[in-house]
Structure 1
């Protein structure tokens, strides 16, 4: 049975490899180097290093977050242990080599059991090799090996500059950070579920379904009968459903969601007593804050009305939805799908589909008509 990271014991053996770097993000080139070190040693310590404002932090991947992603990525590797170095309190390179090397050696030692083990550090930079050989302890236990990075020609810089163009090179755990998240919303019977499904399949991307629909069908309750406990389950259930698609191996850089916590919050404004709705505020705050959506496609209420929904109820829901999006700072991410159809498309379904494709290209930078 493979031990989880949280209970993973320190590495044993006489030969320990060390792979270090910014790892923002980790890509398949890093993985190949780490696995080479693992094959040549009894175990490997993988160390991500960085400081506030570094190149990872600038794209929302601070060193602590990279550490957590790496620990998850190697959770099933018993002989690979992950740690990190926060450089905030030491001089930045090239002025902090001695302080950084001292911290590096201390980090390695706290992850191994044999104080006399031979430690081999692996790097792809000749300058790093030269500096480390000068600064590492001279007790005969330390060495530096220069790796050949021409085998897998990919760089973290290229990934950061064009994540979707380099998607196949990004480690799967790190992919969630770069995935573009597109939400489709609208009043009941507006066709949002159909549009979500068709947009996702156009790009062969994963998509979530509306959790509340299956929940209500299973519980056999109407909107007006939902209680606080029901909404709590719906909020968490939809968040989990959306997260599952982000983390899915099928994620190709685009993910589509049919409904989210903002939609559920708008529904509570229509169906739940105000005092009860206030009790859900903290849960809404926490959930919506985690969503980090890139685009929200809004189907106008008039479409639901055309499909038989009550006009007042549909427009009230839409008003509440825009209020919620504005409250949480997502109004600038939201675009109304207001294009009308022609005589061949009187309901406007195809017109809104084409409009959505154009908006995705404009706002997200992905042309689905060429996928």
Structure 2
């Protein structure tokens, strides 16, 4: 018996199989409670996500195939629970599609179970669905429909889609990655970027990533001016993975703050590499920037602080003003101007370098652009 598997599970064995179907956009604790109940009452449970092109899941960026993958991951370590999907494209829309839909669902059930004559119990939270299925099943003793008690956990996917941060604790952990608000802080070397990120994240009790470029350069013993195409390829992919790790972290509470991304790295490489090298990297930058789906960009502009000592030697190869200009150019080029906040709050006499002013401005920007209420969550 294989307890942990993602891509292939054994067909469900036994004489009594539960079938739990729905859109799952997203999967939440209410769904889970009922699925686990079905698993306790049956020899196995088949979870089937259904949908079509342009359905309510796809409208929020969770198309059917992605929901299937997330569900399969969510129940990867449950040997008694298997996942499949039902594509509703090319069939009549409801309510005219019930006959075709149910026939397809039964075929999916049959291909996922060992005993084709097993007792099949369909679980639904909608009385209308129960009535429609029972109408078509007739008196066939192999099948029955059970109506779930949705009052046990008063949560719905509709509520979550409307305000995911409000109902964050109800979203399955695998699906949370889709709803996390992603903030990246950009700035030149020795601008206080890492310190600001750390303090913002800890103020929100949220995860944050490290600057992978700095880690990579130290480990590889390579200075800025010595980096070649291979180095940039490694850093682009490494930073993306570092950010993804924080998104998927159990500490994710709806907000993740990144110390590096593809745009900030591209601005750097554009100032150091020749045209041919820049062209070789452009496709990877474009692909990565599209996949990052950043919600807010905070940029620290160049500033002077006579008291500050340089704590990182890397970065000296690029003029901070030129780097800032290139950052802004790329942000506009990629269409992120509406997500940009330049941290240019005015200095106060007791804050001459503006560190605290930038911190407060960043907190306000996070709440305004992401809806994440840091004051409420601290």
Question: What range is the shorter-chain TM-score in?
Answer: over 0.9
State the shift of 1:5 in Å. 2.8
Task: Provide the residue aligned with 1:324 in structure 2.
Answer: 330
Is structure 2 residue 119 aligned with structure 1 residue 113? no
Task: Provide the residue aligned with 2:48 in structure 1.
Answer: 47
Rounded Cα–Cα distance in structure 2 between residues aligned with 1:303 and 1:124: 61
Rounded Cα–Cα distance in structure 2 between residues aligned with 1:94 and 1:340: 60
- Give the secondary-structure state (helix, strand or coil) at the position aligned to 1:150: coil
| Contact 2:254–2:372 (CA under 8 A) maintained in structure 1 | no
Rounded Cα–Cα distance in structure 2 between residues aligned with 1:235 and 1:347: 31
Rounded Cα–Cα distance in structure 1 between residues aligned with 2:10 and 2:68: 17
Is structure 2 residue 332 aligned with structure 1 residue 338? no
Is structure 2 residue 362 aligned with structure 1 residue 361? no
Decide whether aligned partners of structure 1 residues 310 and 116 sit closer, same or farther in structure 2, where only a CA change above 3 A counts.
closer
Segments of 5+ residues of structure 2 without an aligned counterpart are none
State the shift of 1:370 in Å. 3.3
Give the 5 Å matches for 1:1-371.
1-136=2-137, 138-302=139-303, 313-371=319-377
Q: Deviations over 1:97-147 (max 9, x none)?
A: 111111111111111121111100011111111110111375421111111
Rounded Cα–Cα distance in structure 2 between residues aligned with 1:59 and 1:303: 43
| Contact 1:22–1:50 (CA under 8 A) maintained in structure 2 | yes
- Give the secondary-structure state (helix, strand or coil) at the position aligned to 1:6: coil
- Give the secondary-structure state (helix, strand or coil) at the position aligned to 2:319: helix
Rounded Cα–Cα distance in structure 2 between residues aligned with 1:312 and 1:62: 42
Rounded Cα–Cα distance in structure 2 between residues aligned with 1:283 and 1:31: 38
Rounded Cα–Cα distance in structure 2 between residues aligned with 1:68 and 1:222: 41
State the shift of 1:2 in Å. 2.1
State the shift of 1:284 in Å. 1.2
Q: Deviations over 1:53-73 (max 9, x none)?
A: 221111111111111100110
Q: Deviations over 1:282-327 (max 9, x none)?
A: 2112211100011000000235899578797111111221222222
Rounded Cα–Cα distance in structure 1 between residues aligned with 2:138 and 2:184: 54
State the shift of 1:157 in Å. 0.9
Rounded Cα–Cα distance in structure 1 between residues aligned with 2:13 and 2:221: 56
Q: Deviations over 1:326-368 (max 9, x none)?
A: 2222222111001122110001000011111111121112232
Identify which range, 234-243 or 356-365, moves more after superposition: 356-365
- Give the secondary-structure state (helix, strand or coil) at the position aligned to 1:341: coil
- Give the secondary-structure state (helix, strand or coil) at the position aligned to 1:296: strand
Identify which range, 359-368 or 193-202, moves more after superposition: 359-368
TM-score by length of 1: 0.96
| Contact 1:305–1:314 (CA under 8 A) maintained in structure 2 | no
Rounded Cα–Cα distance in structure 2 between residues aligned with 1:363 and 1:46: 36
Indicate the RMSD between aligned Cα atoms, in angstroms. 1.8
Rounded Cα–Cα distance in structure 2 between residues aligned with 1:304 and 1:23: 52
Q: Deviations over 1:199-235 (max 9, x none)?
A: 0000100000100111111122110011111111111
Rounded Cα–Cα distance in structure 1 between residues aligned with 2:232 and 2:123: 51
Equivalenced residues, count = 371
Segments of 5+ residues of structure 1 without an aligned counterpart are none
